[in-house]
Amino acid sequence: TGAISSLQRQMEIQESKLRRIRSEKEMLQKHLIEQEVQLQAVSDKFCSLTEEQKQEEMMVMMEEENRNLQQVVMEQESQLAEQNKLISELQETISQLRAEAVTTRLQLLEQKQAHKEMQSQAEALQHKELQTRVALERISTKFERYRSKIIQATFSMEGIQDPLGELTDDQVLEAMQKIFNERMEFQQMLKNKGSR
């Protein structure tokens, strides 16, 4: 948005320069027309004089006036050419600034769209994280109930001492393994006794 504002300010400055130069160009063209009117007036005046006055009084003045007017016309034509060149450059600059403004707007729209998509993805991830936490809590609850039942079943057997404090998983496994081993030994003894 700042880049677009800057480009718009530059465009306004360039367009203001263009308007000023066009105004100066119109003034020069108006002045040129006035000079041509003066030249025509002098020429008409010269035509209305007598032959003798033309030769004696007006010839020098006309030549001088013509030189002056030609010099003014050349200078004004040179200024017009320079201003036309500057107008073309300013128009090209304005076109470039407009193109940059369009490009900046497009980039801004793309960034907004990307931000919107990222926000949507973030919301989807948050929802998925919430679902995962709920599932994890459910699994943890089931695991704790299952572990509690295992501990209860393991330490309710005869010959197994009640735990003194909170049991680790290794201690539970060790107690279960001890029960399994004792049952295997007992079954083996029964088999041996039966064979005899």
Each residue's pLDDT tens digit, 92-131: 888 888 898 889 899 999 999 999 999 999 999 999 999 9
Return the pLDDT at 44.
76
Q: How many CB atoms lie within 10 A of CB 92?
A: 11
**pLDDT, averaged across the chain:** 83
pLDDT computed for residue 53 by the predictor: 59
Contact 184, 176 (CB under 8 A): no
pLDDT digits (tens, 9 = 90+) for 37-48: 888 887 777 776
CA distance 127 to 50: 107
Per-residue pLDDT of the chain (196 residues; tens, 9 = 90+): 677 788 778 888 888 888 888 888 888 888 888 888 888 887 777 776 656 655 667 677 777 888 888 888 888 888 888 888 888 888 888 888 889 888 989 999 999 999 999 999 999 999 999 999 999 999 999 988 888 888 777 777 666 666 667 777 787 788 788 888 888 888 888 888 876 5
Q: Which residues contact 70 (CB under 8 A, 6 or more apart)?
A: none
Q: How remote is the C-alpha of 7 from its chain's centroid?
A: 14
Task: State the pLDDT at residue 129.
Answer: 93
